[in-house]
Structure 1
């Protein structure tokens, strides 16, 4: 598993109580029963985000959606976010970004993505997300097992250590992570989008199959794998928000 996972009696109970659930059924149990008012969705508004967000909107369109606006996104992603919000009726999308003080200290010229992409992801994604999740007991992700080797053993319900950021309430304890699409494949996603006539991210038609920040995302060559367009030429296939090596301190 790619999260800094831990185990507890609470995790064992959740897994046993909701064994075999996924998709809308798991979301309904988590949003309405297990963590009412204490759960948020984390969404990149990327290539497949419409599936998870459509499911969440069916369960409760007021569920907070945390959107990491790194300052390096494609304009198409920002417009896609607005289109999905209008179409799905999501009422609480929270765009969060890097703190100006962090950028001044770590990336004053905006070129950290090239010099040290792990550090750039930490400043622009990891820290802002942890600050945004302070006060929530659980988060919902759209991760799937097929996406990366690190995600291949991912469970639909995980528990992870909370990263230390200096924000009160965000530097101790654990938080649950819900992955309702963990067992879904690309064909499942395509069928769902076709069934509900969900819009595609506009860059998908240009063979951007996994979409992140503009400087670190490229088209996937014909016949290439799903994640081949991310951090091309780097020994990297995760931004870090789901990895244990970004725990505590500045994590860079």
Structure 2
């Protein structure tokens, strides 16, 4: 299904957001798939809440490409969970995105960049790999939600991002809706959730939370960092070096 560029991604995102801002997440996913077909991808961390979006998407099409950032620093439990969920939900196209060897050799040869430059570590292990993968798509889906706070408080349901249309089907849902959906469909939980991890990223930068009301407080705890970088706005025309790698 070809992407209609006549309206432009910014205007298209605005019109879709107006149409879908109060819609059920599955309705949003169905509209996204109708618009973009095989030019639509879903980006998932296979983290604490990922099963909800993945299950919803599997009801629309099990063939939607799922992009998974295997940073090389993930918990073993996350890697196991990724395999379990893909099999349980019947996902046919889960793509493991890994950092480019050249980027690691140049920027993180000792595998300890996370200790001195978390932004740089995220850039080579997440931002660059995702940018390279998204070249093949015109629309993509995220699992972000407003109740996570920070820059996500004003999250639209549909937005323009670096010339592509980005869908946030769960933007309107809170923890109660997520928990109810998981219970209704008897979905398997990430094994670290029971150990106090309501948000799960790379093991060096993720801790259990002290305040369960702030689900992302265990990410980069003790620093001002709140996002890995894949959802941060860039200057117009600024694109990561796709010759080298979300």
- Name the TM-score, length of structure 2 as normaliser: 0.90
Counterparts of residues 1-252 of structure 1 (less than 5 Å)? 8-31=10-33, 33-161=34-162, 174-221=163-210, 223=212, 225-245=214-234, 247-248=238-239
Moved >4 Å (runs of 4+): none
2:144 partner SS: coil
Query: How many residues are paired up?
Result: 232
Identify the structure with the greater helix proportion: 2
1 CA distance for matches of 2:88 and 2:138?
28
Q: Please tell me the root mean square deviation across aligned C-alpha atoms, in Å.
A: 1.7
Deviation string 1:48-87 (CA, Å, 9 cap, x unpaired) is: 0000000000000000000000000000000001110111
Deviation string 1:103-131 (CA, Å, 9 cap, x unpaired) is: 01110101001100000000000000010
1:238 shift after superposition: 0.6
Deviation string 1:156-189 (CA, Å, 9 cap, x unpaired) is: 100112xxxxxxxxxxxx0000000001101110
1:119 partner SS: helix
CA 1:11–1:222: 2 relative to 1, 3 Å: closer
2:38 partner SS: coil
2 CA distance for matches of 1:131 and 1:114?
25
2 CA distance for matches of 1:8 and 1:221?
39
Q: Are the equivalent residues in 2 in contact too, given 1:148–1:237 (CA < 8 A)? A: no
User: Structure 1: where are the runs of 5+ without partners?
Assistant: 1-5, 162-173
Q: Are the equivalent residues in 1 in contact too, given 2:17–2:156 (CA < 8 A)? A: no
- Name the TM-score, length of structure 1 as normaliser: 0.88
